[in-house]
A and B are shown apart, each in its own frame.
Chain A
Amino acid sequence: MKATVYSGRNSVEAQEVPDPKILNSRDAIVKITSTAICGSDLHLYDGYVPMVKKGDVFGHEFMGEVTDVGADVENLKPGDRVVVPFPIACGACNACQSQLYSLCENSNPNAGRAEKLWGHSIAGVFGYSHILGGYPGGQAEAARVPFADVGPLKLETDLPDEEVLFLSDVLPTGYMGAEMCDIQPGDIVAVWGAGPVGLFAAASAKMLGAERVIVIDRFEYRLRKALSGAGATDVIDYEAQPDVVEELKEITAGRGPDACIDAVGLEAHHAHGMVHAYDRVKQATRMETERPHALREAILACRNGGVVSVVGVYGGFLDKFPMGAVINRGLTIRAGQCHVHKYMRPLLERIEKGEIDPSFIVSHRMGLDEVSEGYETFKHKQDECVKVVLKP
């Protein structure tokens, strides 16, 4: 079959690889009808995630049709249409039983390596480095889905792929980012990043009752999308208005946003060339693994006693972290890879009720053969790119 294969830093190719096979009795094989490139795939592509190997198949946002199931999968049968959550979760361990699916204790065969970097391991993830298990991803014609009796959401609806595909990652991730803010009526929420996760975080903050939602980015076309599609009430283009913390004080009459969501992660940009260069150089020389501009700003901007919610991905270690602000101003930091399994069904219901149509983020549709172009277009934000959907 054809799949998106990593062939070195800044390079992926559609290549022929073996067809997936059942390895465990709780596996299913899914023939993929739609899959997307995630912003976090760009961290792999750019070489910032440890333990990515040439030959790895990328992709953790995918859906399709079940073609084969292992002996112990009773809830699915060939022909079923499913969306697959990006974390692989066994459903039986203490983390899964507490609905902390992205922290599954059993699904990462390379947990020993993750423990060395992070102290403890997390769940395995499709197509997301060997530190998260070495599982092939879903930017391919087909994929093996472990624990198919726990993860995949069976679709009984005839909603088109593009309205349900994002249940696999970016919609629940954005939603969890907003949920972690404990939004109260009258709250003002600021969101860093108007990529797919940021847009869904903004839309979710609105759904959860925020009075005002402010989105921060440097691309005019993405900020327009935040206003038109995600229901943002205000936007800040930080290249035009570099002092974001001041701008937010202005909008909130000095209080700061009640909650701040970081939907950017480890490859942030900064309006001031010197500040950007400082972290860029440290990152390039591997003296830190992150460029945490958005996170630093979110902490400094947040209201005293407020919540900073982090759903942007970080890999290892960052510096110049304003811990003094966190402790002295009583901030709460909440973070996590999304526990997608927990959110898929309720969010599907919201889609069915018309409360949100996630397809507004789609800007590009391509075949698997064009995947190299897809990564480049997405990485360099060419052609007003927000989300690339691949049709294998």
Chain B
Amino acid sequence: MESGAPVDRLSRFLSAFSLAFGTAQLAAPNVVNRLAGIRDDPTSRLWQRLVGVREVVAFAAIEAEQPRPRRALWMRVAGDAKDLTLLALAWRGRRASTPRLAGAIASVAGIAALDAHAAARAGRAPENERTEEEPMHVKAAITVRKPREEVYRFWRDLENLPSFMNHVESIEGNGNGRSHWKVKAPAGTHVEWDAEVVEDRPGEALVWRAVEGSGVQNAGAVRFVDAPRDQGTEVHVEFDYGAPGGRLGEAVAKLFGEEPTQQAKDDLRRFKQVLETGFVVRSEGSPEGSTARRHLKQRPGQPVEDGGPGEQEPKPSIERAPSVESAPSAEEGDQS
């Protein structure tokens, strides 16, 4: 969601500078020593190389954090401070040519000022950017080779949702158009909330949101559109999702391979599988089917043992995932 923001030219320059300077220090520490007026010996060359590694890391860190590389730039400021210390030691030890060393110190001080300026600027969020509390916006879509009415009806039935939404543990209808959701969160915790359907256009769209006061930000919509030719139905999902714990919570979830966009895509992939094939497709390498976490850590591709992962975490709803014909109709009372 941040990729739309323009990249700051100063930080681009600083990252290029890090790469160029770091490469020079790694490839030719003797030349850098000479230019900086430092006595060229094995110790100073080793220092040059170490600093060179840091510069290359700084380059990678800035690029990874674009377009607002706040942390990486403050890291550079800290590095500049250390460089100034090293140069001061060289000055005190008189291990070099004094005018060149003075020039080097002035240069590093200048770069440090630029780094600090760029870091401070990156720290100020532009107005159009998401703040700490705002939920993130997630979009995903898939094409299912089934008629639009059928696809809509399957999604509309609460009981079907856990068969393809991996993180949903249970959904209970409250009988008043509302439903209670219980969803798995990282580290064995749960999140629960009440949701209500705010718009239901049969065969076309469903819009829902978390009931006010339920402590969770979750609002979204799913649209069903005829795909061109006889290719079935396009399913477009969009939702706003406030992770428990805000941005920090999002970062933690990502560490566990639980990135919301990837999750939404996986959910849709399983949705398509259930509708088109009758079940979630499983392999021995991914016995639970398509999950972001399993993508990161596969079982070996050999048969599962009795009591293997395929059996330890059964999703009963998968086994009885109804073919579409037998799916309960949308008219039942307790839907979300």
Contact = CB atoms under 8 A, between A and B. Distances in A.
B281 A90 contact: yes
B277 interface: yes
A112 B142 CA distance: 13
Interface stretch (B57-65, B76-84, B240-248, B264-272): B264-272
A282 interface: no
B10 to A, nearest CB: 32
A17 B303 contact: yes
B302 A18 contact: yes
Interface stretch (B147-155, B202-210, B285-293): B285-293
Nearest to B146: A92
A8 interface: no
A127 interface: yes
A24 B302 contact: no
Given A19-B303, A92-B145, A134 B290 contact: no
Most buried by B among A3, A5, A72, A109: A109
B56 to A, nearest CB: 18
A146 interface: yes
Contacts of B273: 90, 106
A108 B308 CA distance: 20
Given A110-B286, A134-B285, A92 B301 contact: no
Interface in A28-80: 51, 53-57, 72
Interface range for B: 35 or more
B301 to A, nearest CB: 4
A241 interface: no
A112 B276 contact: no
B283 A109 contact: yes
Interface string A77-106: 000000000000010111001000000011
B295 interface: yes
A137 B100 CA distance: 67
Interface in B290-313: 290, 292, 294-295, 298-306, 308, 310
Contacts of A127: 301
Nearest to A72: B278
A39 B283 CA distance: 24
B303 A109 contact: no
B44 interface: no
Given A18-B303, A18-B304, A53-B298, A112 B283 contact: no
A23 B308 CA distance: 11
Nearest to A98: B231
Interface string A13-24: 000011111011
A133 interface: yes
B143 interface: yes
B277 A109 contact: no
Contacts of B294: 109-110
Interface string A112-154: 1100000000001001001001111100000010110000000
B300 A25 contact: no
Contacts of A106: 272-273, 276-277, 281
A225 interface: no
Contacts of A146: 281, 283
Contacts of A24: 279, 281-282
B281 A109 contact: yes
Given A134-B301, A136-B303, A112 B262 contact: yes
A151 B144 CA distance: 21
A110 B282 CA distance: 10
Nearest to B277: A90
A110 B292 CA distance: 9
B294 to A, nearest CB: 8
B115 to A, nearest CB: 33
Given A134-B301, A147-B277, 6 more contacts: A17-B302, A53-B298, A93-B276, A109-B282, A134-B299, A146-B283
Interface of A: 3, 5, 17-21, 23-26, 51, 53-57, 72, 90, 92-94, 97, 105-113, 124, 127, 130, 133-137, 144, 146-147
Interface of B: 143, 145, 231-232, 262, 265-266, 269, 272-273, 276-279, 281-287, 289-290, 292, 294-295, 298-306, 308, 310
